[in-house]
Structure 1
Amino acid sequence: MDDISTLTAVIGTNINEVRSQRALTFDQLAKLSGVSKGMLVQIEQGKTNPSIGTLCKIANALGVAVSKFIETSDASTVRLISPDEATQLWTGRNGSAGNLVVGFDNPSLIEFWSWHLVPGEWHDGVAHPVGTREILFVKSGELTLTIGGTTCRAKAGQTITFIADKPHRYANDGAKDVQMLMVVCEPGRGGQGR
């Protein structure tokens, strides 16, 4: 989905649909998500393109995968996803990008991401609900992951797993581009809300 205005409208419609299914008011969702009522109204009306952090907060509050907000149709039994179908939800200052490839929210929340970090760039991830795990596979370069007071470095071919219920940072402190694949798994809340 390349057109930002189309993506913004789809996100607004889908958030409204999930919020309505959960019978939540804007005030209730604002309290659950930490996103202001005014921002929620603007997002649902398609007047603003929310950041990935904002989408994560809303998704966590509603108990759905972020991918639920960018879906345009129901998935079939088998789905082949081409590279141009991934949705870029984050861009860095110097050309880095985070692309949500696909996600599911039943029975568990699972998202599959493709990331590219140029040297010197980073992305700060928000804390996910308790029990959420992430798996990071480094395809090239060297990734620096910081969570709490712990820093871990992974080179090409290595995998990092961690509990993602605290803010965390993915960074490229090296001289070569980092390409990585990420799986986010939040167990046991798929489709249930709070």
Structure 2
Amino acid sequence: MADLDLLTQSLARNVKRWRTERGFTLDALAGRAGVSRGMLIQIEQARTNPSLGTVVKIGDALGVSITTLLDYEQGPKVRIVPAEQTVRLWHTDAGSYSRLLAGTESPGPLELWDWRLMPGESSSSDPHPVGTVELLHVTAGELTLTVDGVEYRVPAGSSASFEAAAPHTYGNTGTEPAELVLAVSVPPVH
């Protein structure tokens, strides 16, 4: 089975599982996530490959990480993710990308990302649930982090943390590739 088919089926199974576990109807989840009921039906029936933004919204509404929604293995308490099994969820022809390295659900979703942004490129994110925190470390180049309309320069070797309940953008306004490691912690759904 192709990787994309495996991810589509895993997403279908996991969205339905977590929606049922949370006691959400399709309409309730659609309202919480800001996606259509029809899109959720297509996802749960493995008939579509939704955008990363849609998967993030659904994960946030369910209180689980993207890793959990895409996970196709029930692993042991220690989970090793080989380099070839990381999931590249966003990329551009110029060479920018984000890779989901690992994630866990305790006490709420926690994700570890590897990002590369080529000069002149950026990636924007909608606000996450209140209480979500992002922590990043720039390993090469310089990141232009924009949070709620305010720009911050984060050079190589520097780190930043911020509350991610506001719109935010990762950008590279420099002349060299920017590389960073990013952790996202989402509070559990109660």
Q: Which residue of 1 aligns with 2:41?
A: 41
How do 1:136-155 residues align onto structure 2 when only pairs under 5 Å count?
136-155=136-155
2:130 aligns to what?
A: 130
Q: Which residue of 2 aligns with 1:107?
A: 107
SS of the aligned residue for 2:173 comes to coil
Partners of 2:148 and 2:23 lie apart in 1 by 35
* Unaligned stretches of 5+ residues in structure 2: none
Letter in 2 for 1:122: S
| Cα deviation 1:159-189 (Å, max 9, x = unaligned) | 01111001100011111111110000123x1
Establish whether residue 166 from structure 1 lines up as the match of residue 145 from structure 2: no
Kept in 2, the 8 Å contact 1:92–1:122? The answer is no
Alignment partners' CA distance in 1, 2:71 and 2:165: 25
Counterparts in 2 of 1:170 and 1:2: CA distance versus 1, 3 Å: farther
User: How far off its partner does 1:2 sit?
Assistant: 6.7
Rounded Cα–Cα distance in structure 2 between residues aligned with 1:13 and 1:65: 15
Gaps of 5+ in 1: none
Q: CA deviation at 1:4?
A: 1.4
TM-score between both structures, scaled by the size of structure 2: 0.94
Alpha carbon RMSD of aligned pairs, Å? Answer: 1.6
Partner of 1:85: 85
- Aligned-residue offset at 1:93: 4.4
Runs of 4+ in 1 over 4 A off after TM superposition: none
Distance in 1 between the 2:5 and 2:109 partners? Answer: 26
SS in 1 for 2:134: strand
Cα-to-partner distance string for 1:56-92 (whole Å, 9 max, x where unaligned): 1111111111111111122323222221111111123
Q: Trace 1:19-98 onto structure 2 (pairs within 5 A).
A: 19-98=19-98
Aligned residues: 190
Alpha-carbon distance in structure 1 between the residues aligned to 2:77 and 2:29? 32
> Which residue does 1:178 correspond to in 2?
178
Is the CA contact 2:7–2:72 (under 8 Å) kept in the aligned structure 1?
A: no
Q: In the alignment, what sits opposite 1:5?
A: 5
Structure 2 Cα separation of the partners of residues 95 and 9 of structure 1: 28
